[in-house]
Amino acid sequence: MRAFVVTGPGEAEVQQVAEPVAGPGEVVVAVERAGVCGTDAEFYSGHMVYLHTGQAAYPVRIGHEWCGTVTAAGPGVDRAWLGRRVTGDTMLGCGKCRRCRGGRQHLCADRYEIGIRHGWPGALAERLPVPVKALVPLPEAMDPALGALVEPGANALRAVRAAALSPGDRILVAGPGTIGLLTALIAAARGAEVHVLGETTGFAHEIGIERAWTASDLPDLRWDAVVDASTGSGIPARAVQLVEPGGRVVFIGLAARASLLDTRELVLKDVTAVGVLSGSGALAGTVDLYASGAVDPRPLVAATVGLDDAAAVLSGNRPPEWGAAPKVHIDPAAPSAQAECSI
């Protein structure tokens, strides 16, 4: 089958690789759509931290935001999965350790991460092996763009849950990338007054987020919760400064270098700080949000292209007609250079 392989910093190609085989407790999924995210770009650039800690090594088959149809089931797998449309968790725990047994498989020290950690192949390919325990069913009629947005949406849903908002609470989301904008849309659907902080505000306004600000015009308001979905190393400290005493700060963004903050501010303001890693535990809830129509994230997708165009996307090569939407999707069945508007 065809798969996109990153062979070194700035080097990648579509290769013919061996077909995946469903082992015990596993299925094979024919990939319908896969998203490209910042982690994938870090693998392509060589900056991804796992490459420097031994948790990943070239060649890497990237892609962890996906949807598709189950085409094969291994020993011990219910045959009812065959033909079902699915997405799935990125984090694959060992299933035996204390963290896994306690429902925290995404923190398992020995976990695989699809398309990221310890060599588990990713979804920028025609087919993908997945443990059946990681699968989440999708409605048959769900748009593939929605299916491939479940994983990032689940990250955002966990961030909103961590913010512990009540209807009418005011939330500031720093970082208007995919996760930040999904956080804003989900918080708005839950009745919060949503504000977004970024270097630019145009696209947030385009998708209906009226209260979007830059650092120069951010109003002096009470922020019941602040979510840092940015990559700025100075934003975590700023978030703690901005949040209301007794409020909550949620950290889901990762900066390229260490982010420093004064813990005395956390203590003296009685602030709750929460870190969020992955969408584990929120995938099914995200499917329900999308299926109900309460949140429609499809405007975040700029374009859908084929595997042969993935390297250009990872290099930051975006045609002007794609606009400012942050997400690009890959259709493994699409021919080369046949980008199409997804909206």
Neighbouring CB atoms inside 10 A of 268's CB total 10
d(CA 25, CA 341): 37
Residue spans of the domains in the chain: they are 2-149+297-330, 155-275
Task: Give domain 155-275's CATH number out of 3.40.50.720, 3.40.50.1370, 2.60.40.10, 3.30.930.10.
Answer: 3.40.50.720
Name the helix (H) or strand (E) containing 70.
strand 65-73
Residues 90-107: tens digit of each pLDDT = 999 999 999 999 999 999
**Residue 338: which pLDDT band, with cuts at 50, 70 and 90?**
very low
Q: Which residues contact 64 (CB under 8 A, 6 or more apart)?
A: 37, 39, 90, 113, 114, 115, 116, 122, 123, 151
pTM: 0.95
Task: Give residue 336's pLDDT.
Answer: 66
pLDDT tens per residue across span 2-50: 999 999 999 999 999 999 999 999 999 999 999 999 999 999 999 999 9
Mention every residue, 6+ apart, whose C-beta is less than 8 A from residue 330. Answer: 4, 33, 34, 35, 36, 63, 124, 304, 305, 306, 307, 309, 310, 313
| Residue-averaged pLDDT of the chain | 95
How far is 41 from 36, CA to CA, in rounded Å? 8
Q: Which amino acid is at 307?
A: L
Nearest residue to 300 (alpha-carbon basis) of 165, 195, 150, 174: 150
Nearest to 68 by CA among 111, 115, 126: 126
340: confidence class by pLDDT, cuts 50, 70, 90: very low
Mention the CATH class of domain 2-149+297-330. alpha beta
pLDDT in tens, 52-64: 999 999 999 999 9
What is the Cα gyration radius of the chain? 20
